[in-house]
């Protein structure tokens, strides 16, 4: 996500989602937030994985499901690599038990909650220019999240992992 400008409280905004490509089991989608004059406030890119709900494994979506989407043009913006590269040296912080209110309807930690946790650990989020998130695994009720944090240059990184250091979600904020 690239934050070009920040709306103020009660500003009228428009949020659009624009699918632009399907490749194998991946769906590629842009998001754009504009103000009432049409000025772009936020641009974002996301990559989604189509999952077979019976096997829990990635799968190619059936043609009839792909056909239900009209594809838009890909937004003009810088596209960061799909995977986040975390620093080698990160400082562990206090573990966080997964609570019932962290869980979504899919019985795992809600994606927005991972971002809230990461931002809550960062020393300063007043000047965010870009936010990158890589969701790798699901944490469930009863799990404990072991955060690690590092600041390198203009970026702050948070790794939300299990007790063995396997990442659930990695977050990078560029200020």
pLDDT tier, 82 (very low <50, low <70, confident <90, very high otherwise): confident
Q: Which residues pair with 130 in a beta bridge?
A: 2, 174
CB 156 within 8 A of CB 123: yes
pLDDT tier, 161 (very low <50, low <70, confident <90, very high otherwise): very high
Count of Cβ atoms closer than 10 Å to residue 133 Cβ: 19
CA dist 19 and 45 (Å) reads 10
pTM for this predicted structure = 0.87
Q: How far is CA 118 from CA 37, 114, 127, 139, 156, in A?
A: 33, 6, 15, 14, 10
CA dist 115 and 118 (Å) reads 5
Q: Which residues pair with 35 in a beta bridge?
A: 13
Model confidence at 56: pLDDT above 90: no
In this structure, what token pair is assigned to residue 42? Answer: 């936020």
What's the pLDDT tens digit per position in 7-45?
Answer: 989 999 999 999 999 999 999 999 999 999 999 999 999
What's the pLDDT tens digit per position in 95-120?
Answer: 999 999 999 998 999 999 999 999 99
Q: Mean pLDDT for the chain?
A: 94
Predicted local distance difference test score (pLDDT) of residue 106: 87
Predicted local distance difference test score (pLDDT) of residue 127: 87
């Amino acid at each position: 996500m690239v934050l070009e400008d920040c709306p103020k409280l009660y500003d009228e905004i428009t949020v659009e989602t624009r699918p632009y490509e399907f490749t194998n089991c991946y769906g590629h989608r842009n998001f754009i937030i504009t103000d009432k004059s049409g000025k772009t406030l936020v641009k974002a890119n996301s990559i989604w994985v189509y999952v077979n709900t019976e096997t829990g494994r990635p799968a190619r979506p059936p043609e009839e499901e792909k056909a239900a989407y009209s594809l838009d043009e890909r937004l003009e913006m810088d596209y960061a690599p799909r995977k986040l590269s975390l620093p080698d040296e990160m400082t562990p912080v206090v573990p966080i038990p997964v609570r019932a209110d962290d869980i979504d309807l899919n019985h795992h930690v809600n994606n927005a909650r991972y971002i809230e946790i990461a931002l809550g650990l960062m020393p300063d989020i007043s000047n965010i220019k870009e936010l990158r998130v890589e969701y790798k695994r699901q944490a469930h009720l009863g799990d404990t999240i072991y955060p690690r944090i590092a600041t390198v240059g203009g970026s702050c990184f948070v790794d939300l992992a299990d007790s063995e250091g396997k990442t659930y979600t990695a977050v990078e904020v560029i200020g």
